Amino acid sequence: MIKLGVNIDHVATLRQARYVDMPDAPNVEPDILAAASACERAGAQGITVHLRADRRHIRDRDVFRLRRSVITKLNLEMGNTPEILETALQVLPDDVCLVPENRKEVTTEGGLDVVRNANALRRTVERLHAGGIRVSMFIEPAPEQIDACAGLGADAVELHTGRFANVMPEFRVDEVARLETAARYASEKGLVVNAGHGLNYANVRLLLPIPYWNEFNIGHSIVSRSIFIGLESAVREMLQLLAPPS
């Protein structure tokens, strides 16, 4: 069965809409720890958060508190910056996924260019590994990027599914084929293969026949669904979609 990592960034986005200047106030809501706990109770196999340089949603305190609370797996998404790297080495999440980061973007746009940034990434990967942290790279489904990840000693790749999610339906078959080719190649290179970005309750079904997936990281769609049915139910619905037919 494909594992589900739930990205709870947008729970923090809702919190920051009112409590941006008082994150420690006693009445702050929603509580990021309560959200993570609900996801785990529902059966999620991991919790993902992105500690951005601008701290627009997840804050440093959130990550430290989650590290003490999460009982499945904590996956920290981060840009390759010295400040965030030092935080990661203090927190010691189970996994780090290195992502590109643009201050003007609403959410992560596109994959990390590992080929172009290999020299800058090498020391980061080495330091994370020295801390006992598994390292993934959020990349476009392209063989040259997969080769670069393998060359740096990454443990996993997370294939960016944004183009698949946003393409017109008549071109979606081509995108599924592109993802399957990349997933197969990454698996042959010995990399764990994850996927994420723009996946939802409708389009995720199209990726299930690909046999190489380890984990999907899904956030916005689950948090959006939770407004109407609750977070635990939203996570369970997604897990039911990911479950192999009985």
Query: Which residues are annotated as catalytic?
Result: 50, 77, 197
Kindly state the helix (H) or strand (E) to which residue 195 belongs, with its residue range.
strand 192-196
HSE-CB for 11 with a 13 A CA cutoff:
28
Alpha-carbon span 186 to 159, nearest angstrom: 10
- CA 194, chain centre distance (Å): 9
Alpha-carbon span 76 to 94, nearest angstrom: 8
On whether the CB atoms of residues 112 and 131 are closer than 8 A, the answer is no
Alpha-carbon span 182 to 200, nearest angstrom: 21
Residues 6 or more apart whose CB falls under 8 angstroms from that of 111 comprise 100, 138, 139, 140, 145, 159, 160
Residue type, 124: T
